[in-house]
Structure 1
Amino acid sequence: MLSNFCHTIYENLRQHPGQACLVWPQPAGPARPYTGADILARTEAFRRQLTNAQVLPGQAVLIAVPVSVELVAALLGTMAHGAVPVLPPAGAGPLALLGLLRRHSIRQAAVGRALAGRYGWLLRLTGVQPLVPDLSTNPAVDVQPPMAVPPDQPALVSHSSGSTGQSKAIRRSHRVLTAQHEVLKQVFPPWPGQRDFPLFPNVLLHNLAVGAVSILPDVPWGRLADFDAARVARQLHSEGVETLTGNVFYFTHLSAFLRSQNHPLLRVRAVGVGGSPVPEKLLTELQKCFPHATIHGIYGSSEAEPIAVRTAGTSPAPPRNGYYAGPVVAGLECRLRKIGQLQLPNGQAYDVGEILVSGPHVAADNWLATGDFGYFDERQHLWLTGRQGNETLVQGVQHYQVEHVLQHLPGVERVAARAQGSGFAVFVQGRVVEETIRAALEAQFPPGLCRQVHFRAQLPVDARHLSKIRYAALR
């Protein structure tokens, strides 16, 4: 049976041509809304470019357009054309893009005007035709339905954060992308006119499919470290945002600003934090910033979104036990590839191992090995305790447990614990003294578990979320 994930998006946009679907901040002046008709027009314009370039269904097309409505049009246009959009890894430079073109046998690339002007000659020299998405806002004369394709054809190729090494390509088929969309609808039911504030660009596809309004945060895409929390807070107030999602780095800085202003946002109904393990301390802080909202910690990966979802409650989960991820979502099978037993201070022991998942919304032929390690408690809820490449159990403890405890100390900005022999070496970023670090460790863990404490001005993190420690790069 043929299908295309874009069918759902097209149907929603056609049914609500005058409704604002995207609200994009501008360098100067008010934000610009884009209606369903606007998005369809731009999408169809790019589809015509693909037709003129003789792109065939199933063919890969690089999407190297800056985060903008043109990126949305290029992504949707490629998918609707029956071709396969390929998104580059975060922070990829020209050499990385050229390698990507070779690996995927790409002959057409959607690029922004700046990239086309600077590197268009190089693309053509390598046999790649640059395509700049049409900026015209004139309504398309004839909107064609999306091309029907095999459900297992890739709908989107994105890339992992590369926190454990080289970034890897993630291929989500039309079947899997549709299943992920359906799971998100079940876990986070949308409502008519929902005003969402998504930091993750992939949420735009889901919002366009359910009819939610996406208000894009005023952040420097590609340079998230430079985002201005005050500007984002003003947007949240002025745009009447009801739901928002983002990663740990983003919410850590946003919540710090909101608390400093002592001005909680009362209209927000739900907040979702993901992209990396979510500290219990951050969830507690977000409850103060958004007192009428349900605060969710979301565990998942690009191949399986989501895996588990928990709701912050009045009683924080103990950091010594790891990061509480919550119950596994319905319809997903989850098991462990055991490596040993985790020992908790109260004498409880749990089998710990790599987390494997399988199900309709998992982009894998069979079981997906997530690279994350953890255990199930007596309720069969999931806890995260380690990451691939640093998963060694030391005296019944994994590194996430050490890190999570230390993250709750005043002055600690980031912390990493790396297994070394019969103990851990701890790396700390922030204003805290070694005596405080050692006292917290001795109070929570077996004596001598942490042999060394190192202070660093910055700890190495992934380029996309700025939240995942790159353990191999610790020095």
Structure 2
Amino acid sequence: MKNIAAILQHQAQLYPDAIAIIDRHSRQTSFSRLNQAAIHTASNLSAAGIQAGDAVLVFQPMSAELYIILIALFRLGAIALFLDPSAGKTHIERCCQLYRAKALIATPKAHFLRLISPAIRQIPLKFCVSPFCSLFRPTPATGDIYPATFETPALLTFTSGSTGYPKAAMRTHGFLLTQHQVLENHLQLQPGKVDLTTLPIFVLANLASGVTSLIPNVNLRQPGNINAAKVISQIQTYQPQSGVASPAFWERLAEACQQDGLILPSFRQIFSGGAPVFVSLIRRLQAIAPQAEVIAVYGSTEAEPIAERVSPRTLPDNASLGLCVGKPIPEIALKILRNQWGTPLSYSTPEAFDRDCLPSGEVGEIVVSGSHVLSGYLQGKGDSETKFDVSKQRWHRTGDLGYLDTEGQLWLLGRCSACIVDDEGILYPFAVEAIARQFSQVRHAAVISHQGKRLLCLELQSPLPDLAILHRALDWAKLSEIQILSKIPVDKRHNAKIDYPALQQILAQNSKA
């Protein structure tokens, strides 16, 4: 059986009294209690009419309830749908049109979305997650698990749609199991370990490995604005050995620790990904967690992880080369292709593909292939932009520019769409931004072409003592100007990736003022 719920149930049998999840207000839920609650919830959903293949839209923050619901849906062979409500009404409507949900499971607050969304109002079955929710009531459940295959759909998420319509990424039970095995290997997940976890997919990996997930008691939808004091208190109480979070989350935590002169000695590993992990953050994390390895993880929605870098204590000063993300993991194939972003790719033979692959040191598109790389989007919508086949092997175009050095390490140079090509030549964003981010006073940096000029925009967390030093360090980039902005727009999910289109709008508005 390939049902992901089976491996979760197995952990409940091995470690029934071990703590699976610690969430808000120090509430602790054991593996056996989590599994029993999922069995009861699956029975109640089945009685309400949810069957294998039905889609259920879920609006629930990271908590024990979220994983009870998720495991219950897996047990039934139903499909869990997740979308970002903060993306707005248009995004919600488009996502709901891509895949029709039979049921909605949401918090009381999330049910207010029914007032603005006709698509959500049309969902036939609706459940409210609350202390009195009927979903979780005990029932004489059988506990049977749907006999899923490798290809049985399990989890559907949507891209942001920032460059057009959102794409639907369907993960099957087999895909989730494969991804779990890769994450287990590279996160070194072991039973009894406590992991500070901020990203939903990693809690699933923890549950499948007997690891305790410590979920921060803060708003994880805004990692760049968390109440760091609350998180530090949880860390001091539960002493996690590892942590996984976006750079924005770790920046807030490191800033608070340094202000108060605190260190976090329990950490042995700190993983950061989902956005660029610059050297300045690595140094700050090494200072507040002196016993920990700091590991930068490069990946994407479609391929997680792709590469990882275990940062040495002495970091080389080579930011002008871009952002080093380490070596590709063994489970993935990675190539650098001649940059053709925006043009669909097709290769009739492996030889034709090989001719487009670049040697070490040359910059191009990063493309990946592997069993934990999403092979396509729902109904093929979006495949022509980011997928291509070479002799039955499916490849994914990450949309990132980079190169491999002579030691096989991958260096990122920014998004293909953010690359600047003008009369001065080619300018790669990360080659500039990585240097700017070496200055501790810089919170965000973005290089952009605006009205024919190369601009470096900075958001500062404290005044730079001398901009002339930065000018000299970037003399080779032939910048027209360095602008200080009160805020540089970043992505909503991780609060760390530069939103270049939004930045263009800000600059345009400033030009008119």
Q: Equivalent residue for 1:190?
A: 189
Report the Cα offset of residue 464 of structure 1. Answer: 0.7
Q: Distance in 1 between matches of 2:72 and 2:13?
A: 15
Letter in 2 for 1:242: Q
SS in 1 for 2:184: helix
Q: Equivalent residue for 1:293?
A: 292
Structure 2 counterparts to residues 112-131 of structure 1, below 5 A: 112-116=107-111, 119=114, 125-131=121-127
- Alpha-carbon spacing, 1:434–1:80, altered in 2? closer, same or farther (3 Å): same
1:379 aligned onto 2:378: no
Q: Distance in 1 between matches of 2:180 and 2:268?
A: 20
Q: For the Cα contact (< 8 Å) 1:10–1:145, is it kept in 2?
A: no
1:332 aligned onto 2:332: yes
SS in 2 for 1:281: helix
Structure 2 counterparts to residues 198-347 of structure 1, below 5 A: 198-317=197-316, 318-339=318-339
Q: For the Cα contact (< 8 Å) 1:62–1:108, is it kept in 2?
A: yes
SS in 2 for 1:74: helix
1:363 aligned onto 2:374: yes
SS in 1 for 2:328: coil
Letter in 2 for 1:336: I
- Alpha-carbon spacing, 1:189–1:432, altered in 2? closer, same or farther (3 Å): closer
Q: Equivalent residue for 2:13?
A: 14
Higher fraction of helix: 2
TM-score (norm 1): 0.89
Q: Distance in 2 between matches of 1:33 and 1:131?
A: 24
Report the Cα offset of residue 115 of structure 1. Answer: 3.1
SS in 1 for 2:329: coil
Q: Deviations over 1:299-356 (max 9, x none)?
A: 001211110010111231421111110000012100122239xxxxxxx992111111
Q: Distance in 1 between matches of 2:262 and 2:125?
A: 51
Q: Distance in 2 between matches of 1:136 and 1:128?
A: 16
Q: Distance in 2 between matches of 1:197 and 1:111?
A: 25
- Alpha-carbon spacing, 1:386–1:149, altered in 2? closer, same or farther (3 Å): same
Report the Cα offset of residue 128 of structure 1. Answer: 2.8
Match of 2:491 among 447, 451, 462: 462
Q: Equivalent residue for 1:416?
A: 446
- Alpha-carbon spacing, 1:410–1:211, altered in 2? closer, same or farther (3 Å): closer
Q: Distance in 1 between matches of 2:405 and 2:167?
A: 31
Report the Cα offset of residue 164 of structure 1. Answer: 5.6
Unaligned runs of 5+ in 1: 341-347
Report the Cα offset of residue 431 of structure 1. Answer: 5.9
Q: Equivalent residue for 2:391?
A: none
Aligned length: 462
- Alpha-carbon spacing, 1:142–1:337, altered in 2? closer, same or farther (3 Å): same
Q: Distance in 2 between matches of 1:167 and 1:99?
A: 7
Letter in 2 for 1:330: P
Q: For the Cα contact (< 8 Å) 1:60–1:84, is it kept in 2?
A: yes
CA-based RMSD of the aligned residues comes to 2.7
Report the Cα offset of residue 189 of structure 1. Answer: 1.8
Unaligned runs of 5+ in 2: 341-358, 377-393, 508-513
Q: Equivalent residue for 1:344?
A: none
Q: Distance in 1 between matches of 2:487 and 2:228?
A: 20
- Alpha-carbon spacing, 1:331–1:181, altered in 2? closer, same or farther (3 Å): same
TM-score (norm 2): 0.83
Q: For the Cα contact (< 8 Å) 2:403–2:412, is it kept in 1?
A: yes
1:54 aligned onto 2:49: yes
SS in 1 for 2:178: helix
Q: For the Cα contact (< 8 Å) 2:194–2:211, is it kept in 1?
A: yes
Report the Cα offset of residue 244 of structure 1. Answer: 0.6
Q: Equivalent residue for 1:343?
A: none
